[in-house]
Amino acid sequence: MKPKVFQKVLPLLLIMFMFVGISASQEPLVNVIEIKGLRRIDEGALRAKMSQKIGEPLVQEKISEDIKTIFKMGYFDDIKVDIEPLEGGYKVIFVIKEKPTIIKVDFQGNREFDDSKLREIATINPGALADIALINDVAIKLRSFYEGEGFYHVNIVPVVKKISEEEVTLTYQIEEGKKVKIRNIIIKGNRFLSTKKIKKVMKVEERKIYSFIVGGGYFKREEMKADIERIKDLYYDHGYLNVAVAEPIIELIGKEAMDIIINISEGQQYNVSSFDVTGNEAIPREELIRLIKLKPKKPFSKSVLKGDVASITDRYANHGYALAVVSPEVIPDEDKKMVKIVYRITEGEKYTIGRINITGNTKTRDKVIRREIRLDEGDVFNAALLKRSYERLNNLQFFETVEIIPSPKVETKEVDLEVKVKEKPTGFLSIGGGYSSVDGFIGIIDITQGNLFGRGQYLKLRGQIGGKSTFYEFSFKDPWFMDKPISFGTSIYRTEREYGNFDRKSSGFELSFGKSFWEYWHKSIAYNFERTTIFNVKPDASVVVKSQEGKRTTSSISPAIVRDTRDSFIDPTRGSRNSLSLTIAGLGGTNAFIKVLLDSGWYFPLFDVTSIHFRTRIGYASGLFNKELPLYERYYVGGIYTVRGLNYGDAGPKDVNNEPLGGEKELIFNAEYIFPILSEFKLKGVVFFDAGRAYDKHETFGSDLRYTTGAGIRWISPIGPIRIEWGFNLDKRAGEPSNKVEFTFGTFF
C-alpha cells in the first residue's frame, strides 16, 4: 500500500475499531427479572438459586441452567421463560406452574391393615405437593411393607384425582391378595460352604412353627437383595473372590406358599501371597505390620481386610492424624489363585483439638459434661480418647442420646468437637407396692435424683416394708467433691430382717472417699459404724446362732481398688470389671473381723449383637482377736445375685434345722449368653450356668460345688434395669426346690 493511501485509510480503521469496542462495552443488560405463577413458594428462594442476575448481560446458558436448577427444587410442574426488550436492555420473565397440593390421602381395598397403620408407612400427608416421584416412592414403601407381612401378590396403584388447578386428592388402590409363606429356601451350586452356613447369614428365612412369635418366614424384596450381598461377603471371607450369586428364583406353590431358589457359582479359593504397607512416615512399618491379621498362605478374607484397614486407621487417628486414609489394593494372580495386598496410606497432617461445643444440656451444667471428655482444647487429636469420652458420658445415665461429632478444619489443622446430648429424667418418685421373690409382698417409697441441681450429684431416700424385712436409707454421693476429682459419699440406714432361726435389726452410717487414677482405675476407702441386735432366737437354734444373741457394734474401714473397662455400666457388651476389697473391723466396737473379696467379670461381644459374660467371685472372712465372725457378715450363696435356682444360703453350711448359717469362704462362677429380643425396647434374653458354694473354715475350699442353669429376660426400663430369671437346680437336695423364679430391680451383675 502506498504511504498516501495508508495515511487516508488509517483514520477510518481507528474509527471502526473504536466503534466496535464501544458496541461491545454497551451490550444490552438484563434490567428486570420477573417471576409469575407463584402461590406458596417464596420468591426469594427462587431468586437465590438463579445465576442470571439483574445488571448483567443476558447469557442464554445461564437461563437454561436456572430452569434446570428450579426444576430440581421439586415444587414445579412447568417452567417457561419469556424475554422482552425493556429500556435498552431485557426483561426476563419466568412463568412457573406450581405442582398442585394434595388435600386428601386415602386408601381403598385394605382389609388386613387399617388406614392409621398405612399412614405410618406412607409418610405423605394432606398439604404435601403432588410430586409423582414421591407418590410412586410411597407406593413402593407400601408394597415392601405388605411383602414383609407375607402379601407377595399385593398390587398397589396410586390414583391422583384433579379437584382444581391447585388441588388434587390421592388414593392408593390396594389389592392385598393372600399371604404367601416361604416353604423352602433352596441353595444350589454350593460345595465349599454348607447350606446351613449360608442360610445363617440371611435375614429372609423359611416359615417355622415359632415364626408367629418371633416373626419372619415371608419374602421381603429389599431384604432379599441385601441377603445376596451377605452371601457374597460370606464367600469373600473365605477367599472366593469370583463368586457369583444369581437373582433368586421364586416358585409359587399354589397361592399361599413359595420356594426360593438361589444359584451360586463359587469359583476357586484365593490365598494371600504377601502384603505390604506403603506411604507411612509417621508410624514405623514394623508397628503397622503387627496390626495386620491377613497373613500369607491363609485364605483371603474381606472382613479381616476391613478390620486391618480399621486398625491402621485407628492407630493413625490415635496419633493425631484425623484424616489419614488407608486404601487397600487387592492384586490377584489368576494363574496361581493368589492375591497380594498393598495397604496404601495417605497420612495427611497431624490435627489438634479446636473448640469443644456442648449443646442440648438444659439442666446438666457444662462442667459436668466437660470433665468426662478425655480431650482438652489444644490436645493432639486421639480417636481412642474420643470413644472413651462417649462411653463416660453414656455411663453418667443423664442422657437419652449422646453424640460427639468431630469437625476437621483443614485450614487450621484443628478438629472441633460438637457434643450433642439429649437429657432424660434423672429423678423419680415411686410410691406403691410390689412382690419380691425373697420378701413376699412389699411396700415401697423411693425418691431418687441422679443429677441433683445439674451438678452430677446423687441423692436417694428409700423406704421398704416387706413381709420379712424393713429397710430405710438416705444416701448422697458427689463424684467431684468440691470440684476436685475426688468422690465423696455418705449414707444413713436402718434395716430389720427375719432369718430362719433369728431376727436382726441394724442401724448405721457410712462415709467414703474415692479417687480415679489412670483411665480405668479407681481406689476408695470407706468408714462404717453399725449397731446390730440379734433377737427372737429360736430355742432349737444352733450354738453358733445363740452365741451371737444380743447387741453388737461394728466399726470398720474398707479400702478397695477397681479396674473397670466396660463400655456401659448398666448394659455392657465388652470390657471387664475387676475389684479387690478389704474390710477390717475392730477399730472400736465389739466386733472384730476381716473380709476379703475378689470379684472379676468379663464381657466379650459375639456376632455383633450378642455377648458372653463370665464372672468369678472369691471371698474369705474370719474373726479377729478370738472373736467370732458375725452371722450377718458371712457369705450366703444362693439366689438371683449368686447362684440362681437355689434359695438364699442353700449353697453353704446349714444347722440341724436345715437353716443357712453362711460360710467364711465363698467361690462363685457365673457364665451367661446375652442376646437381644426387642432391641428397640431394650429387652434382652439370657441363658446361664452357675456354680458356687460357701464354706465353713473346716471345709475344703472348692469342693462340693452346687450347679444350676436357666434363662431369663432383662429390660432396661425407663426407671432402671429389671431382671426376671428362672433357675433349675441341677443337684436337688432335701428341702430344696427343683427350680425357682426370681426377679429384681437394680443393676445387672
CA gap 636, 646 in Å, rounded: 11
Predicted confidence band at 21 (pLDDT cuts at 50, 70, 90)? very low
Predicted confidence band at 533 (pLDDT cuts at 50, 70, 90)? very high
Q: Which of 748, 724, 643, 720 is nearest to 462 (CA)?
A: 720
- What is the model's pLDDT at position 747? 54
Predicted confidence band at 465 (pLDDT cuts at 50, 70, 90)? confident
Q: Give the number of other CB atoms < 10 A from CB of residue 360.
A: 16
The two beta strands, 427-436 and 440-452, are antiparallel
CA gap 721, 569 in Å, rounded: 11
The answer to whether 654 and 660 have CB atoms below 8 angstroms apart is yes
Q: List for the chain the helix, strand, coil content (%; round to 5).
A: 20, 45, 35
pLDDT of 96 higher than 70: yes
The answer to whether 322 and 349 have CB atoms below 8 angstroms apart is no
Q: Give the number of other CB atoms < 10 A from CB of residue 85.
A: 10
- What is the model's pLDDT at position 280? 94
C-alpha cell at 482: 468440691
Half-sphere exposure of 15 (CA within 13 A, CB side): 5
Determine the residue type at 78: D
CA gap 592, 624 in Å, rounded: 5
Q: Which residues pair with 497 in a beta bridge?
A: 469, 504
- What is the model's pLDDT at position 656? 77
User: Counting beta carbons within 10 angstroms of the beta carbon of residue 430, is it exposed (0 to 12), middle (13 to 18) or buried (19 or more)?
Assistant: middle
Look-up of cell digits 441353595: 187
Determine the residue type at 97: K
- Spell 685-701 as b/e; 16+ CB within 10 A means b: ebebebbbbbbeeebee
The answer to whether 455 and 425 have CB atoms below 8 angstroms apart is no
Q: What average pLDDT does range 151-166 have in this prediction? A: 88
Residue range 379-434, pLDDT digits in tens = 999 999 999 999 999 999 899 999 999 999 999 999 999 999 999 888 876 665 54
| Selection from 113-127, 217-231, 514-528 with the highest mean pLDDT | 514-528
- What is the model's pLDDT at position 463? 87
Residue range 55-86, pLDDT digits in tens = 888 888 888 888 888 888 878 878 888 888 88
Q: What average pLDDT does range 102-117 have in this prediction? A: 90
- What is the model's pLDDT at position 386? 95
C-alpha cell at 714: 432383662
pLDDT of 46 higher than 60: yes
The answer to whether 435 and 442 have CB atoms below 8 angstroms apart is yes
Q: What average pLDDT does range 235-241 have in this prediction? A: 95
How far is CA 747 from its chain centroid? 18
Q: What is the 3-state secondary structure (H, E, C) of 476-491?
A: EEECCHHHCCEEEEEE
Q: How far is CA 722 from CA 231, 570, 645, 749, in A?
A: 38, 11, 18, 12
Lowest mean pLDDT among 263-267, 424-428, 512-516, 723-727: 424-428
- What is the model's pLDDT at position 619? 97
C-alpha cell at 279: 506411604
Q: Give the number of other CB atoms < 10 A from CB of residue 613.
A: 20
CA gap 588, 531 in Å, rounded: 12
Q: Which residues, at least 6 apart from 105, have a Cβ–Cβ distance to it below 8 Å?
A: 119, 122, 124, 125, 126, 169, 170, 171, 172
Q: What average pLDDT does range 169-192 have in this prediction? A: 92
How far is CA 285 from its chain centroid? 34
CA gap 531, 465 in Å, rounded: 20
Q: How far is CA 257 from CA 60, 183, 217, in A?
A: 60, 6, 10
Helix (H) or strand (E) holding 184: strand 181-188
The answer to whether 318 and 384 have CB atoms below 8 angstroms apart is yes
User: Counting beta carbons within 10 angstroms of the beta carbon of residue 171, is it exposed (0 to 12), middle (13 to 18) or buried (19 or more)?
Assistant: middle
Give the torsion through C-alpha atoms of 730, 736, 739, 742, to 10 deg: -120
The answer to whether 693 and 704 have CB atoms below 8 angstroms apart is yes
pLDDT of 15 higher than 50: no
Domains of the chain: 22-98 (3.10.20.310), 101-175 (3.10.20.310), 181-265 (3.10.20.310), 271-346 (3.10.20.310), 352-423 (3.10.20.310), 499-745 (2.40.160.50)
Residue range 329-384, pLDDT digits in tens = 999 999 999 999 999 999 999 999 999 999 999 999 999 999 999 999 999 999 99
Q: Which of 550, 512, 511 is nearest to 531 (CA)?
A: 550
Q: Which residues pair with 340 in a beta bridge?
A: 274, 331
- What is the model's pLDDT at position 610? 92
Lowest mean pLDDT among 28-37, 39-48, 626-635, 695-704: 39-48
% the chain with pLDDT above 70: 93
- Sheet of strand 414-423: strand arrangement: 352-359, 414-423, 399-409
pLDDT of 537 higher than 50: yes
Strand residues in 367-468 grouped as ranges (E): 399-409, 414-423, 427-436, 440-452, 457-466
Q: What are phi and psi of 285, to 5 degrees?
A: -60, -40
- What is the model's pLDDT at position 345? 96
Look-up of cell digits 457410712: 510
Q: Which residues, at least 6 apart from 474, have a Cβ–Cβ distance to it below 8 Å?
A: 460, 461, 491, 492, 493
CA gap 746, 129 in Å, rounded: 51
Look-up of cell digits 479407681: 522
Q: Which of 652, 618, 657 is nearest to 636 (CA)?
A: 652
Q: Which residues pair with 574 in a beta bridge?
A: none
Lowest mean pLDDT among 10-14, 381-385, 532-536, 669-673: 10-14
Q: What average pLDDT does range 560-584 have in this prediction? A: 94
C-alpha cell at 519: 483411665
Give the torsion through C-alpha atoms of 664, 667, 673, 678, to 10 deg: 10
Q: What are phi and psi of 126, to 5 degrees?
A: -55, 140
Q: How far is CA 541 from CA 140, 287, 502, 525, 622, in A?
A: 75, 67, 8, 37, 22
Q: Which residues, at least 6 apart from 358, have a Cβ–Cβ distance to it below 8 Å?
A: 366, 369, 370, 419, 421
Predicted confidence band at 25 (pLDDT cuts at 50, 70, 90)? very low
pLDDT of 682 higher than 70: yes
CA gap 682, 582 in Å, rounded: 36
Q: Which residues, at least 6 apart from 150, have a Cβ–Cβ distance to it below 8 Å?
A: 179, 180, 181, 217, 218, 219
- What is the model's pLDDT at position 281? 93
pLDDT of 733 higher than 70: yes
Q: What is the 3-state secondary structure (H, E, C) of 246-310?
A: CCCEEEEECCCEEEEEEEEECCCCCEEEEEEEECCCCCCHHHHHCCCCCCCCCECCHHHHHHHHH
- What is the model's pLDDT at position 559? 98
- What is the model's pLDDT at position 166? 83
What's the pTM value of the predicted model, to 2 decimals?
A: 0.68
Task: Tell me the average pLDDT of the chain.
Answer: 88
- What is the model's pLDDT at position 5? 39
Q: What average pLDDT does range 133-155 have in this prediction? A: 87
- What is the model's pLDDT at position 438? 52
Look-up of cell digits 487417628: 317
Total residues found in the chain within this entry: 749
pLDDT of 243 higher than 80: yes
Determine the residue type at 234: L
